[in-house]
A and B are shown apart, each in its own frame.
Chain A
Amino acid sequence: MKLLIIAGPPSAGKTAVVRQIISRFNPVSRCAYLKIDVVRAFEDKELYDEFKIPTKKIYSGDVCPDHVGILVMKDAVNWAEDNNADILIVESAGLCLRCSPYTTQSLGIAVLSAISGTNSPLKMSAMLALSDLAVVTRVDLVSQAEKEVFRERIKEVGRDLDIVETNALCGTGLRYLFRAIENQPEIEDLDKVVLRGNPPLGVCTVCVGKKEIGWENHFGVIRKLDSGDFFFRGD
């Protein structure tokens, strides 16, 4: 089975891209879909209704969704394999732009919108730099020059990044994404799958829902305003 991990800011067009992938590959290659989100997600139901493929969602609640994604990934691969899937598509919530949910033995796809501002590739550099391929959506809404400027900006983050520009509603231009998926090797050894990058410093008490402001009220990795260093405060 092949594993595709799709990340990107909310409303970037991740699900629109997933739809195009499913339309292209399913049912010759059976697709399964997992959505990881914080509080609400509808994609699993929508994609099930539309394509009748195995879908699943998981809420991460108070914890960073990308961290939860890592915890459940192995179970998810087993679930998809039990459902005879040839391709497992994992859509992340992509809220924390410091995280990068891609693993080894997967195709890491970053989705970003051409109208999200010229600095957005820089803001999500962790998510972009560790991906294999960046899909730029909504190119139907910008001029060609703007599209080329946006491409240049992405290149600043990842020189060798494969960039695919699309109107994700129609699937225009996605032939290069499809080719990358065709060429993607299957998962070889699930026990050896690891996170590609270094996750941001460990989960702190804010991540698990402690709301008081001020470092005095927190444990784990914390910092003060005027000392740029992070330090560890045990419980």
Chain B
Amino acid sequence: MIYQSLRFIIVMHNSEIMEITVLPGKNRNGGTENFRQITIRPGDTISIVGPTGSGKSAFINDIEMFAHEDTVTKRTVLVNGKMPPEEFIRDPSKKPIAMITQNTKCLADLTVESFLDMHIKSRKLSDPFVIEKTISLANEFTGEKIRKEARMTSLSGGQTRSLMVADAIVVSDTPVILLDEIENAGIFKEKVIECLKTHNKALLFVTHDPLVSLLSERRIVMKNGAVSDIISPGDSEKEALSEVLRMDSAMSLLRERIRCGELIKSIPVL
């Protein structure tokens, strides 16, 4: 048994005090998961790692919908140690969680502008500049600019993902953000993470990316549909992290050169 009992306090915009607790469910064979509880706070960064199909997306889905033994995993998610009020789940304007799913397509037949406008309505915001702010933030994450007249269905995978991340930060503006493989769509993940970290939110990254994993304070390891380990490396991975940072910036440089159409005859040693 891993006794991972971290107690944290979340101060929401409405200054309610909140903590989110995940209680164990069952793995694919019906066995109980190997932890007592996982608690989440703002400013906290957690990565969820594990092989394909190990249940990473299922884990953050449970949090997004405040599972109550009613998902495949049979987990329970509490707020302040209790069942969350129904409005947290059913009223988008009260929901303290935003999630960026693994999907890179948005099927809504609306323009970017009217999509954001409707989302702003559902989140009951009044700031008239939210649409502009969201689009310009999204454009910092993607190489090809998004125009507000574009149709959602015509955006590329990376553009869609950038817009959804910006939407989570500016429109949803929730204390908890769940991100499912942001590294996948070719967006500028360093910029996304940097921007997310300035907002003192709880961030949960489902990831296959070594850098994103090492940048998080805690790592939840998934196996066979269940949490198999929770690692809090502290300073013990410091050296590895600086090495990975170096390798990653070399890779980013290389990626940009290839994207720009260069012929790669040599790689500068950093």
Which residues of A are in contact with B by a Cβ distance under 8 Å? Answer: 115, 117-119, 140-146, 148-153, 155, 163, 170-176
Most buried by B among A117, A146, A151, A173: A146
Contact A153 B118 (CB under 8 A): yes
Least CB distance, A175 to chain B, in whole angstroms: 5
Task: Give the CA-CA distance A150 to B119 in the complex, in Å.
Answer: 9
Most buried by A among B72, B101, B172: B101
B86: A residues at CB distance < 8 A = 176
Which residues of B are in contact with A by a Cβ distance under 8 Å? Answer: 61, 64-65, 67-68, 70-72, 86, 90, 92, 98-101, 103, 106-110, 115, 118-119, 121-123, 164, 167-168, 171-172
Contact B109 A148 (CB under 8 A): no
Contact B119 A149 (CB under 8 A): yes
Most buried by A among B70, B123, B171: B70
Task: Give the CA-CA distance A115 to B108 in the complex, in Å.
Answer: 7
Contact A143 B118 (CB under 8 A): no
Contact A149 B90 (CB under 8 A): no
Q: A119-B109, A172-B70, A176-B90 are known contacts. Are A143 and B115 too (CB-CB below 8 A)?
A: no
Contact A148 B70 (CB under 8 A): no
The contact sample of 6 A-B pairs, CB cut-off 8 A, is: A118-B118, A143-B106, A145-B106, A148-B119, A152-B92, A152-B119
| Nearest B residue (CB) for A144 | B99
Least CB distance, A215 to chain B, in whole angstroms: 33
Contact A141 B103 (CB under 8 A): yes
Task: Give the CA-CA distance A42 to B183 in the complex, in Å.
Answer: 43
A142: B residues at CB distance < 8 A = 101, 103, 106-107
| Nearest B residue (CB) for A120 | B109
Q: Could you say which of A118, A145, A155, A170 contacts B172, with CB atoms under 8 Å apart?
A: A145
B164: A residues at CB distance < 8 A = 143, 145
Least CB distance, A220 to chain B, in whole angstroms: 35
Contact B123 A143 (CB under 8 A): no
Contact A149 B70 (CB under 8 A): no
Contact A144 B108 (CB under 8 A): no
Please provide the 3 A-B residue pairs with the shortest distance between their CB atoms, ordered closest to farther. A152-B122, A148-B92, A148-B122
B122: A residues at CB distance < 8 A = 148-149, 151-152, 155
Task: Give the CA-CA distance A133 to B64 in the complex, in Å.
Answer: 22
Least CB distance, A165 to chain B, in whole angstroms: 8
B123: A residues at CB distance < 8 A = 148
Contact B68 A175 (CB under 8 A): yes
Least CB distance, A117 to chain B, in whole angstroms: 5
Starting from the known contacts A118-B118, A144-B98, A144-B101, 20 additional A-B residue pairs (CB-CB under 8 Å) come to A117-B108, A142-B101, A142-B103, A143-B164, A144-B99, A144-B172, A145-B98, A145-B106, A145-B119, A145-B167, A145-B168, A146-B108, A148-B119, A148-B122, A151-B122, A152-B121, A155-B122, A172-B61, A172-B67, A172-B70
Least CB distance, B88 to chain A, in whole angstroms: 13
B61: A residues at CB distance < 8 A = 140, 172
Task: Give the CA-CA distance A117 to B110 in the complex, in Å.
Answer: 9
